[in-house]
């Protein structure tokens, strides 16, 4: 007696038949492929969550500055953000949810990120 790998019911029919119905066969393969699949959406969501986590961990005070290379080395990717905010000077802060960053060069030419946390006046 064979049992269906999808639902566990008895499989009736020809010898070697694995599934009790066409639905179970389709559902079984759909669920297996869904687990394996590394979709674009999943990759983007994972990177956004990584970016948010890093921005939060390096910005304990609400506003801070960090070398760009250090954040990139940790896995930060500035191409992934959820929205932006433009200040009165015309500078554009990119945000990953409630944590934002602005890319700047200091007087020595070193690239840095200014990290901020979203404030009510930024709406």
Q: Quick one: pLDDT at residue 52?
A: 97
User: Is residue 1 classed as helix, strand or coil in its secondary structure?
Assistant: coil
User: Is residue 117 classed as helix, strand or coil in its secondary structure?
Assistant: strand
Asked if pLDDT for residue 42 goes beyond 90, the answer is no
Mean pLDDT, rounded, of the chain: 92
> 46-56 pLDDT, tens per residue?
999 999 999 99
Cα three-residue angle 12-15-17, rounded to 5 degrees: 60
Q: Indicate the pLDDT class of residue 37, thresholds 50, 70 and 90.
A: low
Q: Quick one: pLDDT at residue 89?
A: 94
User: Is residue 40 classed as helix, strand or coil in its secondary structure?
Assistant: helix
Q: What is the DSSP letter of 19?
A: -
- Cα separation of 9 and 7, whole Å? 6
| C-alpha R_g of the chain | 25
DSSP 43-96: HHHHHHHHHHHHHHHH-SSSEEEEEHHHHHHTT--TT--SEEEE-TTS-EEEEE
């Amino acid at each position: 007696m064979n049992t269906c790998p999808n639902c566990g019911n008895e499989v009736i029919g020809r010898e070697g038949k694995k599934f009790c119905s066409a639905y179970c066969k389709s559902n079984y393969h759909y669920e297996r492929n869904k687990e394996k699949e590394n979709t674009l959406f999943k990759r983007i969501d994972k990177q956004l969550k990584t970016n948010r986590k890093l921005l939060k961990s390096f910005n304990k005070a609400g506003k801070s500055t960090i070398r760009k290379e250090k954040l990139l080395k940790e896995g930060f990717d500035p191409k992934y953000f959820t929205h932006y905010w433009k200040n009165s000077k015309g500078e554009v802060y990119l945000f990953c949810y409630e944590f934002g960053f602005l890319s700047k060069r200091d007087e020595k030419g070193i690239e840095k990120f200014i990290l901020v946390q979203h404030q009510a006046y930024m709406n």
